[in-house]
Amino acid sequence: MAFATTAATSSSAAAAMALTPQCAKLPGATRQSRTRSAVCRAAATATAPGSASTSAPAALAALNARRGARRSASSVAAMWRQVQGCDDWEGLLDHPVLRSEVARYGELVDACYKAFDLDPASRRHHNCKYGKERMLEEVGMAGAGYEVTKYIYAAPDVITVPTMEASISGRGRWIGYVAVSTPEMTRQLGRRDVLVSFRGTVTPAEWLANLMSSLEPARLDPCDPRPDVKVESGFLGLYTSADKTCRFGGAGSCREQLLREVSRLIDSADSRSSDTSVTLAGHSMGGALATLLAYDLAELGLNRAAPITVFSFGVPRVGNAAFKARCDELGVKALRVANVRDPITRMPGFFLNEATTGAAMLRPWAGSCYTHVGVELPLDDISSVADLTTVHNLGTYIALLRKPKQAAARADDGGGGGAVIGRVLDFVGRRGAGAMPWQDAALQMGGLVQTLGLI
């Protein structure tokens, strides 16, 4: 018995038809993506940081601090291609500039949790509490340096159990936002940054989608379907399914909304201005959606040779070995920030994955096993080992990147992703699935499927 089944593939077919006119652009875009790594390495070498400046007198300490901040910003500008993964972060995983930048993107993801409305009595329940013009300011990030241009909505493609409220099952919900760097932030970063930020799992329907762990051909390029490239069916359904009833403007599927807006922002870049990067950031399920979007943009050539980078936090595996190989071929760069004690980063594919399929007896199933994409940046927080909500908490990830010794204190922060996850667990625990709380049902079903070797 299964909690959820994949719905008909009509939404994927519709998306493919909508994207058919872009096929003529694919050959040139593919050639560009295959040479991108060599181009960015050469450009990064040409923009290496300069030498350190002399120290200022003690009486000018305040001025010196301001200059230090400017030097830090200019360090990011000078090495932005390396930060975005031009050389697969070789020798950079402990670099303070990289870790600071990754933590900054983590905070931009945490804004999704802070702005997400969990009040059942609110007319914006399961949507953003604020308008996009003031969202970052309302969550305490007025100086983030980004202008939010669009909110993104997603509808889990699941069939729910009878005890789940109809009002929260299969409906489009706010999943994140698209933003672009302001002129001042563009100068600091050394390029114009198009950002997409995704939150993780919150609603019961999204929890069910996470359990749909069978591999399914992505088929996101109608001109070159590549049936061997497979991804988790639950993530794919969330990415490609549309909810026509969403009253907050979710026109089309999550995928269609994203491709339109990101393409618009890339195409609107002034060729005479600074370079453009595409940065996709997400926590947990949001990291999986970011990885799918990165592959989709690169496969269709919609990035117009702009580097695509994924910064994910506590992300599960998304697809099979062919999916990873294709992402590598297209030049998609993914940095997976993983708490080594976080079990979510080892799922799906707890038993059959990139580490176990090397065994001779398992090789026939290698194409059907999950494989992580990109480079892992491992973190460790021994203080959170006994608490699942803490070990997977985005606040813990950010704290480990910024101030490792204070990670445990940040895990109890009441304002960010950890608080939302805790409230969600409490909420779904009160919605009975028979006599069994929702989170227990999910964990037990996931454990059973894993034991059977199906994920």
| Residue 266 structure tokens | 């890339």
Neighbours of 23 (CB within 10 A): 14
**Known catalytic membership, residue 368:** no
In whole angstroms, what is the distance from residue 3 CA to residue 13 CA? Answer: 25
In whole angstroms, what is the distance from residue 160 CA to residue 209 CA? Answer: 10
CA distances in angstroms from 35 to 29, 300, 304, 317, 331, listed in the order given: 10, 16, 13, 27, 8
In whole angstroms, what is the distance from residue 311 CA to residue 109 CA? Answer: 10
Those residues with Cβ within 8 angstroms of residue 335's Cβ, 6 or more apart along the chain or in another chain: 85, 89, 102, 309, 310, 311, 312, 374, 375, 377
DSSP three-state, residue 210: helix
Query: Is-contact 228 307, C-beta < 8 A?
Result: no
CA distances in angstroms from 129 to 56, 111, 249, 365, listed in the order given: 46, 11, 14, 46
| Residue 359 structure tokens | 């065994």
In whole angstroms, what is the distance from residue 4 CA to residue 51 CA? Answer: 58
DSSP assigned state of 433: B
Which residues on adjacent β-strands are paired with residue 147? 180
**Known catalytic membership, residue 51:** no
**HSE toward the beta carbon, residue 171, CA cutoff 13 A:** 18
Residue in 11, 33, 274, 284 annotated catalytic? 284
| Rg from Cα positions in the chain | 21
CA distances in angstroms from 141 to 109, 113, 179, 269, 313, listed in the order given: 11, 13, 13, 25, 20
Sign of CA dihedral 297, 303, 305, 310: negative
Residue in 221, 296, 342, 381 annotated catalytic? 342
Query: What is the identity of the amino acid at 413?
Result: D
375 exposure class (CB count in 10 Å sphere: 0-12, 13-18, 19+)? middle
Closest among 334, 314, 316 to 379, alpha carbons compared: 314
In whole angstroms, what is the distance from residue 387 CA to residue 374 CA? Answer: 27
The residues that are catalytic are 284, 342, 392
